[in-house]
Amino acid sequence: MENELLMIKEEALAKLDNCSSLKELNDIRILYLGKKGPIQEAMKSMKDMAAEDRKVFGQTSNLVKQELSKAVEDRKEILENQAILDKINEERIDITLPSYKLDQGTLHPLSTIVAEIVELFLGMGYQIAEGPEVETDYFNFELMNLPKGHPARDMQDTFYIDENTLMRTHTSPVQAHAMLEAQGKGPIKVICPGKTYRRDDDDATHSHQFMQCEGLVVDKNITMADLKGTLEVFARKFFGEKREVRLRPSYFPFTEPSVEVDISCHNCGGKGCSMCKHTGWIEILGAGMVNPRVLEMCGFDSEVYQGFAFGIGMERVAMLKYGIDNIRDFYNDDIRFLNQFSRKE
Ligand code: DAH
């Protein structure tokens, strides 16, 4: 009888040794140690044994059970550890694999130009002013000294929404907003970058929607020299330290006197090239001393206060700076164009 038990044990141990999964292990455990297993079965015959034999047999069968239980536990531990190792191997990430190429977005060149100009003027103590793109005729024209019927209105073909409402044709009305807000008290030092609209036919240098940056300074004792000095700082920081600034007489209803501002060509240094049409100079913006009529209409005493103003065409300066020859490139969203402005950090 005892031999039989030992044989069963050997058989079970051999199976445990070969067993390779937790499921198989459980099956073996049930097969040998379960209620219907051979050991349990053999123990049933104990009741017919002599007392002495029964004791020995009982001890042996308990030992076999203990030994097998322990073997099952040991095997279980081995298999569980193996399962964890298998899982780790299976889930291992190969960090040497090349990654997918992620395209990185980039600022639109006009956004870069706006940021650059804003930073430049903030550094000179200016603040940012804003005004609506859907503007009243009153702000866009009347307060800018362009009453109804004024010939200069024709220079700015306008998208009208109704008789008194329009898409602003320039950022100059923000001057009026800033002055009226200041209620006749200087100083004012603002710039306003923003969108503007005109009923132009789109071509290489015209767009029905474009961007300007208005500048306005109102204070006591402001002179044309302040304007020129300011524009020189702008031109040199923006187009290079060697730039010269030249003022030419011009006309805008909201400034008196008015000037067109040229810089010495940043492409050829003033010698003459195709960019400056062989003149050595490039026109970059319009400016002037705020017309006293505008000051008065916007609540300032023109006997006490003076001001200067300028209007930068953002696409124009961006095109000059980057050598872009078609304004439509800014609005076509052609990724090949935009990618040329990605920052290489
Ligand atoms: N508003 C003008 C335009 O759209 C640009 C301009 C010229 C603005 C002279 C000014 C200025 O502030 O002083 O053409």
End-to-end CA separation in angstroms for the chain: 85
What pLDDT is attached to residue 85? 92
Token pair listed for 28:
């073996």
Atom of ligand 1 nearest to the CA of 311: 8
- pLDDT tens per residue across span 170-189: 999 999 999 999 999 989 99
Q: Which two tokens stand for residue 44?
A: 């049933």
**Can you tell me the distance from the alpha carbon of 289 to that of 115, in angstroms, rounded to the nearest whole number?**
26
C-alpha–C-alpha distance, residues 226 and 305, integer Å: 14
Query: Where does ligand 1 bind, in terms of residues with CB under 6 Å?
Result: 170, 172, 214, 252, 255, 286-288, 309-311
Q: What is the pLDDT at residue 171? A: 98
- In this structure, are strands 134-136 and 127-128 parallel, antiparallel, or unpaired? unpaired
Evaluate whether 214 touches 179 at the Cβ level (below 8 Å): no
Whether this model's pTM surpasses 0.95: no
Write down the pLDDT at residue 57: 85
DSSP-H helix ranges across 219-270: 224-239
Residue 40 DSSP label: H
- Residue 332, helix vs strand vs coil: coil
Residues of the chain with confidence (pLDDT) below 50: 345
Name the residue of 252, 262, 315 to mutate for ligand 1: max ligand atoms within 8 A of Cβ. Answer: 252
How many alpha carbons fall within 13 Å on the CB side of residue 177?
A: 19
Q: 278: CA distance to ligand 1 center in Å?
A: 26
> How far is the C-alpha of 317 from the C-alpha of 237, rounded, in Å?
13
Which alpha helices (DSSP H) does 92-219 contain, by range?
A: 109-122, 137-140, 173-182
The residue contributing the CA closest to ligand 1 atom 13 is 287
Q: Residue ranges of the alpha helices (H) in the chain?
A: 2-18, 22-33, 38-44, 51-91, 109-122, 137-140, 173-182, 224-239, 292-297, 314-322, 335-338
